Structure 1
Amino acid sequence: MSSLHTGGATAATAAPEAGRSPAALARVLLPSMLGLALARTGLIVGSYGSYNQTDLGIYTDGSMLATLAVMGVLLIILAASKRQLRRRTVTLLAELCILVETMLLMAQAAITLDGEPHGDALFALSMLLSLFSSGAMFYWLRRAKGCSGALAAIYVFGALIVSEVFLEALSLMPQATALFVAAAGSFAQLACLFLAFHARPLHTLNAQEGPHTYFGYTRTPVDDKRFLVSTAIGIGLLAIVIGLLRGYPDGLPIAFSEGERLGYAGLTIVVSAVIVYFMARGNRRTMTMGIWVVLELLACAALIAYAAFPQALGHGALFATTVNALMVGLVWYTVVAFESHGWRDPYYYALAGWIVWLGCRGVARTGLLVIYPFAANDLVVNAVMGLMLLVSTQVVFSCCLRDADSLRQLPAEADAAPAAAGSGEGAVAGGAAMAGSGSGAGASAADGAAPLDALHPAAGPSAEEIRASVLEAMARDDAPPSPFAAAEGATAPAPNRPATAASPAAATAAASMAAPARRQAGPQFSRLMGLDVESAPVATRQPTLARGVEEMGRRFMLSEREIEVLTLYALGYTQKRVAEELFISPGTAHTHIKRIYAKTGMHSRQDILDYLEAYGS
């Protein structure tokens, strides 16, 4: 987490705290949440016309497409470098984006007061505003890297609610006045940045209740990664629908009446508050099936309203703009999820999220604006929106159905696991039983609330039972020989080694986690998105692995020195290099590594990497 802009080493290394009061969480979240809300407010006022209408047409999606071209170049640079930006660089970039956003809003206010068209100047200012306002939002999203899923939802949708309150107030002002006020608000982000710098980092906090995995319907970080792929595809497809809805039917902006504007803001705030409530209370499907059902229903409501009130398009635009705003929250949340799972720099994931979400939306919107005059046909537009809506949701739901199928298989697997354990044929993948004690997500398929206490393994298998399950898995899976085997004579257990009988509790936990470990994203996509920790450069792997190794140390009761040794060893350091880095003798390093293998029941570096990849933080 070294790339985060945090308030000192003590705070950065503080252990997560569960059970904090809502008031305490609010005090810590408020500076960053307010900063994110102000950054979005500046963008909406300057490039969307304060949502007095769906947008400003070409000055919104057209300028955003030009901005995304610049973002694409930055994305390629980050992908090629494979580096994490330094903390000081991140801070300077955030300050630069905030200051430039402020100046651009003031320049737009001056042009508005002038009364002349200045179309080219407004387009250029809107493009630059989209770039630097997005950069400010990227910083505030970066601060949420590594926090729990429930806390991430509270953070992003809370910021969305605050920004909607600001926008509703600004929509009542003349545009020039709204731009000046938005500029002042943008400048106030510097104060938020100062307060956030001295507050605890968000990743050291936990919401009082709620799921810890980002897609709480899933059971392991491996499932989370797979669901990230489906979510990204669904976002791109639904963005096409939103682009068409916001300019229905000819691509031009749709104006709001005062009632419609108030209805849009109220609906967005209410739905966002409901999402926050259910995530905080532990509903594990809120950010999977729940939010997609809501988005689908609102998009369908927009289509129906457009068809029912062709002379009052603002009725349909009310729902279309609500979908657009809620998609902002979902994209924010997904960016935080990618940042927390992948080893690439957080800006990489923010840029990629913007390109997928706003790129698809902008292409659809500008395409409609260009094509409609030549082939005006509302039925075709409706059919395309219906198709994209169907496909986008089905991509996500198919992922949920696969998880449901695996959950139905758990009883049979759990029944088979004790028998396999008793015969010496382990029934779990390496480290699988341990996932139940740290994934933060329950394996229950039931809907509804599940308090955080229920998601932790208070009544789960003991350390000895877990260790027995791991040993059985190692014997069965023919684990690769230890890197120390050739040089130091360390050998893996013989295939006919007697297996320690695991309890039904350990076997059940092992069986429940075995299936997800086999369903990982393809290697090419994993490398592209930075979800494969083992292929990351050492300098960028270390922040990603550190939390997983620390959690692994707590689970297996490793000493502080053993955790330090394990961190370097998982990064690929040789025994001699570990000794040099920690200023200890090679014999001492060798002893620590032998103890790590003994405590964890693992026999090779690959076993450790597989465990961290499948069940680490």
Structure 2
Amino acid sequence: MAQQDTGQAMPPLSFETYRVLIPPILGLTLASTTTDIVVQQAHRTTGVSTFNGTAMIIAALIAGMLFLSTLTVKRFTKRFISRFIFASIVVSGLCCLALAVLHAYGVQLSLTGAVALQAGVAAGATFIKFYWLRKLRGTSAQAAVIVVFCALAISEFITFSLSFSGELMWYIVGTILTFAQFSVVRISRELGAAGDPFPAVSESYFGTNEDRFSNRSFLAVATLGIWFISVPMGMGLGFSSGEAIYMSTVPRFMVLLFVIIVSALWIRNGFASRMRAITTSIWVAMEVLLALGAVFLSIWPNTISVGASFIMGSSLVLQTFVWYLTIAFISFGWRDPFYYCTLSWVSMTLLFVAGMRLDGLITQLFPNNTPVLISIMSLFVLIGAQVVFTKLLSSPSERTERRQTAGEAITEEDIKRVPLMGVLAITPQEHPAMVQQKPDVHIATSVMEMGQRFGLTGREVEVLTLYALGHTQARVSEELKLSTNTVHTHIKRVYEKTDLHSRQEILDYIAEYGSPRP
């Protein structure tokens, strides 16, 4: 049996345990499919969106306003989140419905009207994705991988199937899928948070030894790598004039095949808890697809859809990897989850569009531009893969490493020296994760205070202590010699008394209102 990379193994496969993952899988699938078929023409072209990316740029600007609001709001309230997802579904669904009705009656939309409706679909569907990523806060890396790659594979299969239909069918299906989100959201609330049965462990996400300070800095490094690799992907999608490339049936099927193979491999790794493979070989997969795409673009410049299929497959894998990293940011960062969702998505989307526009600029300067484009694409890939991934990810800063060797505690100043850590808000704002802290003692003490504050019984305090420490309900029942149903009942009563509804919310409460750390 293959050895697991982390000490956190996935529980045995059963519907009772894994059903909590079904709503986020469905939610991400429905939102992604809506974007793919309505805004990206069912991948019949490589365009980021219709109208040469304009609709997606407008959606990115709208998301940028949400990002700016996160700079002043520490945490959005539950009421705001409920209204946010309701408004997102309504806006996206009504825009799809309007497109369907207008197309059915043969109404010719003006350019402004068409762009506005497409942007509404893109923004609404994207915000729905943000909601589901937020729901995965505090979820283990293994469960996160299973969710995002299942959503990718299912979404791409539906998109490929609908690529043989017309625009009216796309708009109708987009409307149905969007309004179906209401049912999925309701089911998700009934099942609870995915982080409860699958609690997050930082080392599982980052694939490094748990004593290494570079765990959190991986997020900053990976983000920088994503920024560099997004540009050549955009250039490949718009090769060589900056216009979207038409994809016939064979290239579209190749994209589906790439996605299915990659998704199957990483879902398997997730179930096997081989998380080190996720954080390293996912880069290899993206770069191999991107490199092969560049090779075929160079060999067959007159049949560019073949090379474009490799690059499009790589871009879809990258978007899914961004989901995965966003969940990591959300789980271990101190800002509101929407901060990380908007920052990652807006950056990647704008860089995709910028890469396509760069093609057009180079075409004006160099009419026979294939060698120039391939060279620039290769340069960006080299920077992203070698300079960022190999060097910065390989070890922490020398000063930090010396302090670890000497057995000294890592200070907040050390944290600030890691590239982009402050900008990306990866470490807790008030309590950075220092090696000398005793989180078990802190949590236990804080839970006792919660017991007094909310009138919890002694048994509820015992259950909540183990639960907050990351134990599953099954493990808590073993430790306290209670039945699983009894433990579930105690946790449900704790939720009712505290008005907190997930393990992560309890940990957030402890971090903000619990006893001071030693």
TM-score bucket (shorter structure): 0.7 to 0.9
Q: Which residue in the other structure is 1:151 paired with?
A: 143
Distance 1:349 1:258, change over 3 A: same
Q: Which residue in the other structure is 2:289 paired with?
A: 298
- Paired letter, 2:236: L
- Paired letter, 2:175: A
Residue-pair matches, total: 448
Q: How many angstroms apart in 2 are the aligned matches of 1:295 and 1:111?
A: 39
- Paired letter, 1:97: S
Where does structure 1 differ by over 6 angstroms across 4 or more consecutive aligned residues?
403-406, 565-568
Q: CA deviation at 1:309?
A: 1.5
CA contact (8 A) 2:290 2:311 kept: yes
Q: Which residue in the other structure is 1:428 paired with?
A: 407
Q: CA deviation at 1:350?
A: 0.4
Q: CA deviation at 1:237?
A: 0.8
Instruction: Give the alignment partner of residue 397 of structure 1, picking from 390, 396, 400.
Output: 390
Distance 1:280 1:17, change over 3 A: closer
Q: CA deviation at 1:115?
A: 6.6
Q: CA deviation at 1:85?
A: 0.7
Q: Which residue in the other structure is 1:531 paired with?
A: 426
Which string of whole-angstrom CA distances, capped at 9 and with x for unpartnered residues, describes residues 62-90 of structure 1?
A: 22222222322321221123x21111210
Instruction: Give the alignment partner of residue 140 of structure 1, picking from 125, 132, 156.
Output: 132
Q: Which residue in the other structure is 2:439 paired with?
A: 552
Distance 1:233 1:306, change over 3 A: same
CA contact (8 A) 1:36 1:140 kept: yes
Which string of whole-angstrom CA distances, capped at 9 and with x for unpartnered residues, describes residues 563-611 of structure 1?
A: 347899xxxxxxxxxx9x799xxxxxxxxxxxxxxxxxxxxxxxxx9xx
CA contact (8 A) 2:226 2:348 kept: yes
CA contact (8 A) 2:25 2:150 kept: yes
Which string of whole-angstrom CA distances, capped at 9 and with x for unpartnered residues, describes residues 136-158 of structure 1?
A: 00000001111111111111111
Query: Aligned ranges for residues 183-582 of structure 1 at < 5 Å?
Result: 183-206=175-198, 213-219=204-210, 222-376=213-367, 377-394=369-386, 395-402=388-395, 428-429=407-408, 520-522=415-417, 525-535=420-430, 552-553=439-440, 556=441, 560=444, 562-564=445-447
Distance 1:527 1:296, change over 3 A: closer
Q: Which residue in the other structure is 2:57 paired with?
A: 65
Q: How many angstroms apart in 2 are the aligned matches of 1:525 and 1:403?
A: 13
Query: Aligned ranges for residues 45-56 of structure 1 at < 5 Å?
Result: 45-55=37-47
Q: Which residue in the other structure is 2:168 paired with?
A: 176
- Paired letter, 1:528: V
- Paired letter, 1:278: N
- Paired letter, 2:395: R
CA contact (8 A) 1:210 1:283 kept: no
- Paired letter, 1:258: T
The DSSP-based 3-state class of the residue aligned with 2:71 is helix
The DSSP-based 3-state class of the residue aligned with 2:352 is helix
Q: CA deviation at 1:219?
A: 2.6
Query: Aligned ranges for residues 18-33 of structure 1 at < 5 Å?
Result: 19-33=11-25
The sequence identity of aligned pairs, in percent, is: 21
Distance 1:112 1:366, change over 3 A: farther
CA contact (8 A) 2:139 2:195 kept: yes
Q: Which residue in the other structure is 1:588 paired with?
A: none
Q: How many angstroms apart in 2 are the aligned matches of 1:72 and 1:525?
A: 19
CA contact (8 A) 1:242 1:320 kept: yes
Segment of structure 1 superposing worse, 58-67 or 281-290:
58-67
Q: CA deviation at 1:25?
A: 4.2
Q: How many angstroms apart in 1 are the aligned matches of 2:16 and 2:331?
A: 23
Q: CA deviation at 1:341?
A: 1.0
CA contact (8 A) 2:228 2:381 kept: yes
Distance 1:223 1:531, change over 3 A: same
- Paired letter, 1:563: S
CA contact (8 A) 1:46 1:108 kept: no
The DSSP-based 3-state class of the residue aligned with 2:244 is coil
- Paired letter, 1:292: W
Structure with more relative contact order (C-alpha pairs < 8 Å, separation 6 or more) = 2
Q: How many angstroms apart in 2 are the aligned matches of 1:326 and 1:37?
A: 14
Distance 1:59 1:25, change over 3 A: farther
Q: CA deviation at 1:293?
A: 0.6
Q: How many angstroms apart in 1 are the aligned matches of 2:157 and 2:17?
A: 21
Q: CA deviation at 1:189?
A: 0.9
Structure 2 regions of 5+ residues with no counterpart?
1-7, 456-510
CA contact (8 A) 1:42 1:185 kept: yes
Structure 1 regions of 5+ residues with no counterpart?
1-15, 414-426, 431-513, 569-578, 584-608
CA contact (8 A) 2:41 2:50 kept: no
Q: CA deviation at 1:374?
A: 4.8
Structure showing greater radius of gyration is 1
Q: How many angstroms apart in 2 are the aligned matches of 1:215 and 1:44?
A: 30
Q: CA deviation at 1:61?
A: 2.4
- Paired letter, 1:150: Q
The DSSP-based 3-state class of the residue aligned with 2:294 is helix
- Paired letter, 1:68: A
Root mean square deviation of aligned Cα = 3.7
Distance 1:524 1:405, change over 3 A: closer
TM score, norm. by length of structure 1: 0.66
Which string of whole-angstrom CA distances, capped at 9 and with x for unpartnered residues, describes residues 236-260 of structure 1?
A: 1111011101010011111112122
Distance 1:132 1:220, change over 3 A: farther
TM score, norm. by length of structure 2: 0.77
Q: How many angstroms apart in 1 are the aligned matches of 2:242 and 2:142?
A: 37
Q: How many angstroms apart in 2 are the aligned matches of 1:343 and 1:56?
A: 31
Q: How many angstroms apart in 1 are the aligned matches of 2:230 and 2:135?
A: 26
Q: How many angstroms apart in 2 are the aligned matches of 1:210 and 1:273?
A: 23
Distance 1:115 1:53, change over 3 A: farther
Q: How many angstroms apart in 2 are the aligned matches of 1:182 and 1:102?
A: 7
Q: How many angstroms apart in 2 are the aligned matches of 1:145 and 1:183?
A: 28
Q: CA deviation at 1:288?
A: 2.2
CA contact (8 A) 1:138 1:350 kept: yes
Q: CA deviation at 1:383?
A: 1.1
CA contact (8 A) 1:63 1:124 kept: yes
Q: How many angstroms apart in 2 are the aligned matches of 1:218 and 1:104?
A: 48
CA contact (8 A) 2:294 2:307 kept: yes
Q: How many angstroms apart in 2 are the aligned matches of 1:334 and 1:61?
A: 24
Q: How many angstroms apart in 2 are the aligned matches of 1:194 and 1:57?
A: 30
The DSSP-based 3-state class of the residue aligned with 2:208 is coil
Q: How many angstroms apart in 1 are the aligned matches of 2:449 and 2:213?
A: 22
Q: Which residue in the other structure is 1:418 paired with?
A: none
Q: How many angstroms apart in 1 are the aligned matches of 2:301 and 2:109?
A: 30
